[in-house]
Structure 1
């Protein structure tokens, strides 16, 4: 597979897969692995949609856990092209498909209430109109800031896609916790499982993993905190186990 000067191919952790990344686009991070491992996938999970798939890393991770059909939706053409090539690189064309479009146009590709799971690692930061917030590279701005879509719109889209009792899994920043819960409740996704992630055991939590069920019964579990690094800065045993 021919690469341009901005691209590199790296091993995808210890998953026996490879991934193409660009230096001028958002590279995959630990967050994508965390939400992929956190999501409750069962033998009844047959259809998964990843909202804002980027270079397709979440579908690649999920392919190691399930035989379900996985669709990634990505608004940026270069990122969606990378995702398609990453699917091809790992010979997963029969399981994973990539759509280059705004996720708001989901009705062009799916029926209402037709998906078993929706998963997302979305832009984390609200945009208040202050352009000093933004990156010089438009593609990084869209990946990090709620410009093309808001958190509420992502959750509303997930609810529209999900079957009754379908699962929604999200990774986000802790400071958006109340926004997430309020919008999940607003769009009939009952929060069922939450885990706070800390860089080290003595540090405040920065990342939040949350999963809900559409029209689920009330009953929330708070999982033990996930500590990403030991005191010496190395990945924790829990994270290393995810790498396997």
Structure 2
């Protein structure tokens, strides 16, 4: 992999100006999110723009991507401009809390910061990208509820403890957990991440699935190959 960019089958992602580089979490959220009937999509904290680009390949939707860091917002905008879907992708340099838009989105996705009240990492850019305070998830849920269409869904990826925190705050906003995908590095390893979807639909028994990334060190599982084969050049 180049230090400056990551080459996918149909697009290229430069990430040298972004604190958070192209990684597995973005590939998983972009490919596992359900996109049926999505015409307007919002990506909160887009970073490199990876998730938005995957969703652009998978759908015909118009996609707005919001990023608080100026250099990351510029880089995601550049990545969008050199993609086959440049006319459907828009990058906005803004905090989601300052973002102004009259649209309602059928689908909202986010790979949000998740280190709550932990020691701050070195470097201001990585601090913004990774660390949040106690009220961040509640305020994020408020903005998701504001921008989400009546029948829309929201898909989030977080570590286990942080996802439980987020889920409690989402419920306060009338956003109900409807599906979980538990991500494991290996079959018998602990849950590494959870991808969870939310909607305003009530009285739903949440569904849960197990997703394995590797069969053994260096050998991707059939699950991972199946979702990534249209995107990653290694398959």
Change in 2 beyond 3 A, CA 1:177/1:89: same
The answer for the alignment partner of 2:4 in structure 1 is 8
Report if aligned partners of 1:24, 1:137 keep a CA contact under 8 Å in 2: no
- 2:41 is matched with which residue? 48
State the secondary structure of the residue aligned to 2:149.
strand
Counterpart of 2:89?
96
TM-aligned CA deviation for residue 109 of structure 1 = 2.2
Partner residue of 2:170 out of 168, 176, 184: 184
In the superposition, the TM-score normalised over structure 2's length comes to 0.90
Matched residue pairs, number? 228
Whole-Å separation in 2 of the counterparts to 1:208 and 1:121 = 11
Equivalent of 1:236 in 221, 227, 235: 221
Of residues 134, 141, 146 in structure 2, which corresponds to 1:160?
146
Unaligned runs of 5+ residues in structure 1 are 1-5
* Residue 135 of structure 1, aligned match among 114, 121, 125: 121
> How far apart are residue 243 of structure 1 and its match?
1.9
Distance in structure 2 (CA, Å) of the matches to 1:71 and 1:205 = 30
Q: What is the aligned partner in structure 1 of residue 12 from structure 2? A: 18
What's the counterpart of residue 116 of structure 1?
Answer: 106
Corresponding residue number in structure 1 for 2:28: 34
Tell me the residue number matched to 1:3. none
Which residue is 1:57 aligned to? 50
Is the 2:33–2:155 Cα contact (8 Å) retained in structure 1?
yes
Supply the distance in 1 between the matched residues of 2:110 and 2:7 (Cα, whole angstroms): 22
Task: Indicate the residue corresponding to 2:198 in structure 1.
Answer: 212
How many angstroms apart in 1 are the aligned matches of 2:30 and 2:147?
Answer: 19
Residue 149 of structure 1: CA displacement? 7.5
Deviations along 1:157-180, whole A, 9 cap, x unmatched? Answer: 111101112100000001223212
RMSD of the alignment, in Å?
Answer: 2.0
User: For residue 208 of structure 2, what is the aligned residue in structure 1?
Assistant: 222
Distance 2:74 2:135 in 1: 20
1:33 positional shift:
1.3
1:72-91 matches, cutoff 5 A: 72-91=65-84
Unaligned runs of at least 5 residues, structure 2 = 230-235
Whole-Å separation in 2 of the counterparts to 1:81 and 1:217: 42
| C-alpha contact 2:70 2:93 (8 A) present in aligned 1 | yes
